[in-house]
A and B are shown apart, each in its own frame.
Chain A
């Protein structure tokens, strides 16, 4: 009797190396073809803007007598009102726009996770105070507040240097976007702090910071990563929008938004000027949204892929 059980083949081989979580997520993510394709597009976009100096033109060099040239073999996206190569300007603008997207996402995510973690982990009056602050930020009409902020900051003489406007925009966007990751992190921490593995770790003598950063945080990375993609799409759209309205990145630093702004004035003479910068924003944001969708499916154990 015992012998026959022992000789039964196990359904899953116990000797094989178990698949790691990262490998599992990666396998599931690759199966979402649009998301996989989108990550290739996004990576190529990053490579392209990093390769901006190799475009053969300078973003500021003007070609008098060649203003508003149609898109051609020499000037792929044409030239603008000063005869500058639009393709090159869009690549340099892309560096700024993508950098703003990445850094303000990091900023809002770090702030949001810290606030959400404190709120969810400690609860009580800390939670109450932090969540009232979060509520206050959530009812702010963000675009209005950002414009107000930007108008005020522009008055500071110390910030008159145009290069600093990139950091102002990064901080301003991040400062009004941390509420969503904060609420998400709070919810995750509320649930996870009651789990057995956390109690076990606490029983072994782990202190609060160890529990927060090494036990709970790694287990909430999935949803936070998905929210990071949403944040980044939001940050890129907001940066371009602010710059488009004249309250974001200031010329001569190019960004997709302010290239679009200058294009608007000349839209009657050169409509293609308005098409390309917006197209770059559109493609990038769409790729990020698809990646977010792919990650959501990859992290969600209930999603079963058809086909």
Chain B
């Protein structure tokens, strides 16, 4: 197991390096570059520009610049300096990460709680009315653009429906807390409802569908027949013997899905003004704040790589048939 993990980690290094060369290359080779704003500024003299270039090390050959950048990035945790906010990017990312993790963690839990029973019941009674309903719903959920769903939710629950408890809308259109009520968990939950519905709708659609097909495969296995034959309650057969095995492929699916999950963060956080990584990235992209953009993409890619590695390891623990040596 240890050899497997270290081998996978070793394989991850060239992938990460290749990605960093690629990203560094496209950001640096484009016209403009880090000094574009200073160059356009008439108050900056050519001497000042040259001094700035030397100070930032931009007068050195590109490979030298790259090595310096990647060393600082990995070894010193120096992820660059935001042009717009004049702050270290690392600080900004650490500030925003908890909000994103909270939103997506809860969204993920909600998804599992709803998708698992849906998937299991439609697998037990395939082509029943319930299953057909779920199938229709899941095709709709897979096809609905998350940004449109978010906008519709705002139109319905913010613009048109009023709260039964007080004046004002049923749910807020965005943000994490009402101003003046920061830290209040009830207020947080109130703000979470719409974004959670928007993200989990398509996840529920995908995962319940996936679980349905993997559960249908499991239902035909011999051990399921054995479990039924020895007189176990049918619920126990389905949920303990069946579901456990049907859930296995889901682990891999989750890891493969991560890039699109992070992508969804940009949309959800932009629509609902959620102060997370996605929103940070969008703001940075509009302000051409390249150090922030570069760092966020690198961090997200590293997270994706790490999670897919963890999924593989977890798979080995969950399924004793898999051996990594």
Contacts and interface: CB of A to CB of B under 8 A. Distances in A.
B148 A247 contact: no
A149 B26 contact: yes
Q: Is the interface of B mostly helix, strand, loop or mixed?
A: helix
B139 A286 contact: yes
Interface string B130-168: 000000000110111111100110110001100000000
Nearest to A148: B293
B15 A139 contact: yes
B300 A260 contact: no
Interface stretch (B58-66, B68-76, B261-269): B261-269
Given A135-B15, A140-B297, A233 B159 contact: no
A245 B285 CA distance: 10
A241 B282 CA distance: 12
Interface residues of A, number: 48
Interface string A224-256: 000000000100010011001111000000000
Interface in B105-144: 127, 139-140, 142-144
Contacts of A290: 139
Nearest to A279: B148
B145 to A, nearest CB: 5
A144 B266 contact: yes
Contacts of A144: 262-263, 266, 281, 293, 296-297, 300
A142 interface: yes
Contacts of B293: 144, 147-148, 151
Interface in A132-164: 132-133, 135-136, 138-145, 147-149, 151-153, 155-157
B15 A136 contact: yes
A278 interface: yes
Given A139-B308, A152-B30, A233-B143, A260 B259 contact: no
Interface string A111-151: 00000000000000000000011011011111111011101
Interface in A141-197: 141-145, 147-149, 151-153, 155-157
B18 interface: yes
B103 interface: no
Interface string A265-292: 0011001001101100110011011100
A141 B19 contact: no
A152 B15 contact: no
Residue from the set B147, B159, B270 with the largest chain A CB neighbour count within 10 Å: B147
Contacts of A271: 155, 159-160
B288 interface: yes
A9 interface: no
A286 B18 contact: no
A142 B259 contact: yes
Contacts of B270: 245
A306 interface: yes
A138 B22 CA distance: 14
Contacts of A247: 285
A145 B297 CA distance: 7
Given A142-B263, A241-B267, A268-B159, A152 B26 contact: yes
A241 B147 contact: yes
B7 to A, nearest CB: 14
